[in-house]
């Protein structure tokens, strides 16, 4: 009997070891991971620990005990401490020490200032993605640049809301040019300070590389976005944050990222631990019809293979993951003349764009739409210019020929004077009308 138990135990141990080997091998193959012997053992241990947590949570999810599901992803062989480190997130130590420093008395948005009434004006739900104010999901990679994507996301939203123009702005320019640690961490308010002074290029003109580089901005401020200021939402108040998101637009916030590293779908309401080391963008809020659970709609910068195609839903009302612990940021736009290239294009098109300059339209103008319209307008202008050039060229030719002809005629008369015949000329005295006959 004892020998049978030992044999069964040995078989189970072998199956378990080979099963773990298979899962770990498939994981490395799928996510293109390669490690040396020592690192491989370390990563495998972390992977197996995270895998157990994922399985336990998902069993509870299937039983209806939790409202979110986890999944194996590119972070599953990373420890929570690594996820919280600047290398994978990127929020620097919050100093509120930019050029336009705030103190405890800064004029924060609390949802009720400037005639704003929460109960009457703040929408019940809002999704700025549906209103054309959110660009596509980005992947920061192994660069602590979440702060730069938080800043660009806020400004992109304001540009779309004010002008109906949605275009990705350069996070890489902020990494290279803002006085901070770049891929080793930074702050959204420092990024706003920079954009106020120097403007921001598009990601097409200054593409993302995910490494610290030399600043490539220039004194030419065309093709850039500017902001006129920025401010903070009242801390420790989800109601104030809800008002800001509903009335202003997408807002950047700092969160604790450790618990969400393996998030896949659902409304996350788990326990969050660690530092406020990651910046994300709140792009809306809503609630479930079934039970009325309210949640935030959050845009992350971990690629589309994380979460709900790069987004997550976070339960509202519990300050989960420290979402309002640090002052959330928003940008201000007052003076459209500072948006050189964009406003010049819009003024050229006049009333064509005026009707589309609000997100109340079902189809706000995107950068591609604007460029297509401008290209068509430029083509018409170019054809007209060709005809004008042809007409002016013809007029120049006529004037030139007339001048040359006049010069030739003058020279010819000068050297070859004309002699008029005198034979049949009428004497002057005979020109008296009385002497003229029929």
Nearest to 358 by CA among 348, 368, 346: 346
Collapse the DSSP code of 82 into the 3-class scheme (helix H, G, I; strand E, B; otherwise coil) and give the result: helix
What interhelical angle do 146-163 and 340-349 show, nearest 10? 20
CA distance 229 to 189: 10
User: Do the beta carbons of residue 200 and residue 217 sit within 8 Å?
Assistant: no
Collapse the DSSP code of 28 into the 3-class scheme (helix H, G, I; strand E, B; otherwise coil) and give the result: helix
Annotation says 49 is catalytic: no
CA distance 215 to 296: 35
Burial class for 401, CB neighbours closer than 10 Å (0-12, 13-18, 19+) = exposed
Give the active site residue among 183, 278, 321, 329: 278
H helix runs in 164-267, sequence order: 171-177, 188-198, 238-247
Give the active site residue among 143, 146, 177, 272: 146
Phi, psi of 29 (to 5 degrees): -65, -45
Annotation says 278 is catalytic: yes
Matching residue, tokens 């001048």: 403
Catalytic residues: 146, 278, 300
């Amino acid at each position: 009997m004892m020998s049978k138990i030992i044999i069964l135990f040995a078989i189970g141990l072998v199956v378990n070891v080979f099963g773990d080997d298979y899962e770990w091998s498939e994981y490395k193959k799928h996510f293109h991971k390669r490690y040396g012997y020592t690192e491989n053992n370390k990563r495998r241990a972390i992977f197996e620990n995270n895998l157990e947590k994922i399985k336990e949570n998902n069993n509870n999810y299937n039983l209806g005990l939790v409202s979110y599901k986890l999944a194996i992803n590119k972070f599953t062989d990373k420890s929570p401490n690594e996820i919280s480190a600047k290398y994978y997130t990127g929020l620097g130590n919050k100093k509120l020490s930019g050029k336009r420093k705030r103190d405890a008395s800064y004029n924060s948005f609390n949802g009720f200032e400037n005639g704003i009434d929460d109960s009457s004006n703040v929408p019940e739900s809002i999704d700025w993605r549906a209103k054309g104010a959110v660009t596509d999901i980005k992947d920061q990679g192994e660069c602590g640049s979440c702060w730069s994507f938080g800043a660009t996301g806020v400004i992109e939203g304001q540009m779309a809301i004010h002008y109906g123009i949605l275009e990705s702005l350069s996070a890489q320019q902020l990494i290279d040019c803002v006085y901070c640690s770049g891929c080793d961490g930074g702050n959204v308010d420092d990024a706003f300070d920079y954009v106020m002074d120097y403007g921001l290029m598009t990601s097409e003109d200054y593409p993302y590389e995910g490494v610290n580089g030399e600043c490539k901005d220039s004194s030419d401020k065309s093709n850039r976005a500017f902001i006129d200021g920025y401010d903070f939402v009242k801390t420790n108040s989800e109601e104030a944050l809800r008002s800001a998101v509903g009335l202003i637009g997408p807002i950047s916030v700092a969160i604790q990222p450790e618990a969400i590293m393996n998030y896949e779908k659902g409304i996350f309401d788990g326990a969050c631990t660690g530092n406020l080391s990651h910046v994300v963008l709140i792009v809306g809020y809503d609630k479930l019809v079934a039970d009325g659970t309210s949640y935030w709609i959050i845009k992350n910068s971990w690629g589309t293979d994380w979460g709900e195609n790069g987004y997550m839903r976070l339960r509202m009302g519990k300050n989960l993951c420290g979402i309002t612990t640090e002052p959330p940021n928003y940008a201000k736009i007052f003076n459209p003349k500072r948006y050189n290239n964009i406003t010049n294009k819009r003024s050229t098109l006049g009333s064509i764009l005026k009707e589309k300059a609000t997100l109340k339209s079902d189809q706000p103008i995107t950068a591609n739409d604007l460029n297509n319209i401008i290209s068509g307008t430029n083509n018409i202008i170019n054809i007209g210019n060709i005809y004008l050039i042809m007409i002016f060229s013809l007029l120049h030719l006529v004037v030139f020929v007339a001048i040359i002809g006049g010069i030739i005629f003058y020279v010819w008369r000068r050297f070859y004077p004309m002699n008029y015949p005198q034979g049949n000329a009428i004497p002057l005295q005979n020109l008296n009308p009385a002497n003229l006959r029929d």
